[in-house]
Amino acid sequence: MTRLQGVVQSLVRLACVLALLGVVVLSLTPVEHLPPQVFDLWDKAQHAFGFAVLAVLGVLAYPRRPVGWVLGLLALGAGIEVAQSLTGWRYGDMADWVADAAGVVVGLPLGWALHGALQRLGWVPLQR
């Protein structure tokens, strides 16, 4: 692995961890404490978008563990919905979890496409 590839991998893994923490914190924060919505998007679209980003970052950060990453994201989405239902200020919604899963399904091939492009540029090592 070249130095550039190591730096890129470290940055992508950091972005992945920060995105995961951001999704969990924002998902469990009382709505009145959240910043105003930047985009007026439908709730389910926000769920799908967030989990698509997590799927892309997961493929880039851990390309050798796609099944574990997908299962982990699905478990995270379900866990967030259960945790929301236990907070008293948020509520869990099965449809939100379905939107999370849809985001993972969309994000996974996008992540692989981006990973392939970065391989061709030499920014990430070739997979063995």
Residue 127: inside a domain, yes or no?
A: no
Share the mean pLDDT of the chain: 91
Q: Write out the residue range of the structural domain in which residue 99 sits.
A: 3-30+43-121
pLDDT reported for residue 9: 92
Confidence band of 39 (pLDDT split at 50, 70, 90): low
What is the number of domains present in the chain? 1
Residue 80: inside a domain, yes or no?
A: yes
Alpha carbon distance 72, 69 (integer Å): 5
Q: How far is CA 55 from CA 51, 60, 89, 94, in A?
A: 6, 9, 28, 20
- The answer to whether 34 and 26 are in contact (CB under 8 A) is yes
Q: Tell me the pLDDT tens digit for each residue of 88-113.
A: 888 889 999 999 999 999 999 999 99
Q: What is the mean pLDDT of residues 1-29?
A: 94
Alpha carbon distance 65, 47 (integer Å): 23
Q: Is pLDDT at 124 greater than 90 in this prediction?
A: no
Cβ-based burial of 51 (10 A; exposed 0-12, middle 13-18, buried ≥19): buried
- The answer to whether 104 and 73 are in contact (CB under 8 A) is yes
The encoded tokens of residue 117 equal: 């492009």
Within 88-123, residue ranges assigned H as helices are: 94-121
Q: Tell me the pLDDT tens digit for each residue of 63-86.
A: 988 899 999 999 999 999 999 999
